[in-house]
Amino acid sequence: MKIVIIEDEEITARDLAGTILALEPDTTIVAILSSFKESVNFFNNSSEEIDLIFSDIHLGDGTSFDIFSAVPVRVPVIFCTAFDEYALRAFRFNGIDYILKPFDEQMLAKAFQKYRMITQSGKATHFGILQQMISNLDASRIEGQRAIIVYNKDKIMPVKTSNIAFFHLEKTGTYITTFEKKAYFISRSLEEMEKIAGPSFFRANRQFLVNRKAIIEAINSSSRKLTLQLSVPSYEPVLISKKKIAQFLGWLSAG
C-alpha cells in the first residue's frame, strides 16, 4: 500500500508515519507534505499511484480542502485533525474516516479496517456509493432533514434523524437506537449529536438525547423527577431531573 501524509507539524507527521508502519509493515510512505503549495505541486507532478491519504485539515498556508479542490485526487482520504466541526465537509472530499487528535494505534487500526471494507475486492463500489450518499445527505439537508452515517459490518448507511428514537451513551461509546429497534455505534460524542440532531431532540440527561416522537408519556416520581416512557425500550430508565422539568415541558409543548 502506498500512502501520502499531509501534516504541517513535523513531530506529528513522524509519529503518524511510525504508527502506520507499525500497523502496516508492507506500507510505503511515498511523501510527507507540509503545506498547501507543496501538496498541490506533488499531486500535479508526481507519477506515483497512491492508495490512501492521511491528511490534517489546517495547514500553515491553507487547508487540505483547498488542496483537494485545486487538484484531482481520486483516492480515499483519512482526515486526522484537532477540530471536530469539519466532519461532514471532510466526507465530501473523499473522506472515509475522521480521526481527532491526539490519535492512537487503535484509532488508526479502525481507520484501516474501514479502508479495506470500502476498497476490498467485490466492494470497490462502496467508495463511490459513499460519495453519492454524501451528495444525497446535502440534498436532504436542504429539505430540512438530517442523517447520521453509520457503519454496520460491511455496510455504510445513512440513518435519518427522523428515524432515530434516541441517542444514548454507554461505557463503550455513543449509540443510536431507531424506531425499528436497531442499535448502531457512532464515532461521535453525545454533545456533537445534540448540535446535529436539531430541535426535535431533547437532552434528557447525561446519557440520553431523545426524539419527541419517541415519547409516549412522562411520569412523576417520588424523587421529583420525570420518568419518560418511550415507544422504543431503552436499556435503563430515561429520567428528567427537577431542574430540567420546566425546560423539558416547554420543549415538549412547542412540538
Give the domains, in start order, of the chain with CATH numbers: 2-130 (3.40.50.2300), 158-254 (2.40.50.1020)
Contact residues for 216 (Cβ-Cβ < 8 A; gap 6+): 229, 230, 231
Contact residues for 16 (Cβ-Cβ < 8 A; gap 6+): 5, 7, 54, 80, 103, 108
| pLDDT of 193 | 84
What's the first-to-final CA gap in the chain, in angstroms?
52
Q: C-alpha 164: how far from its chain's center?
A: 16
User: If we measure between CA atoms, which residue out of 136, 178, 139, 173 comes closest to residue 161?
Assistant: 178
The answer to whether the CB of 89 falls within 8 A of the CB of 65 is yes
User: If we measure between CA atoms, which residue out of 159, 120, 164 comes closest to residue 136?
Assistant: 159
Res 128 pLDDT > 70: no
Longest Cα–Cα distance of the chain, Å, equals 71
**Which of 36-45, 90-99, 152-161 shows the highest mean pLDDT?**
36-45
Q: What is the mean pLDDT of residues 203-222?
A: 90
List, in sequence order, the alpha helices (H) in the chain: 10-23, 36-45, 64-70, 87-92, 105-119, 125-142, 190-197, 245-254
- At what angle are helices 10-23 and 105-119 packed, to 10 degrees? 60
Helix (H), strand (E) counts: the chain = 8, 17
146 or 195, greater pLDDT: 195
Which cell is 118 given? 470500502
Which cell is 121 given? 475486492
**Count of CB atoms within 10 A of residue 222's CB?**
5
| pLDDT of 55 | 93
pTM to 2 decimals? Answer: 0.50
| pLDDT of 124 | 46
Res 167 pLDDT > 90: yes
pLDDT tier for residue 114 given thresholds of 50, 70 and 90: confident
Task: Please report, to the nearest 10 degrees, the dihedral formed by the alpha carbons of residues 188, 191, 196, 198 taken in order.
Answer: 140
**Count of CB atoms within 10 A of residue 176's CB?**
23
**Count of CB atoms within 10 A of residue 173's CB?**
12
In tens, the pLDDT along 75-97 reads 889 988 776 555 556 666 667 77
The answer to whether the CB of 159 falls within 8 A of the CB of 184 is yes
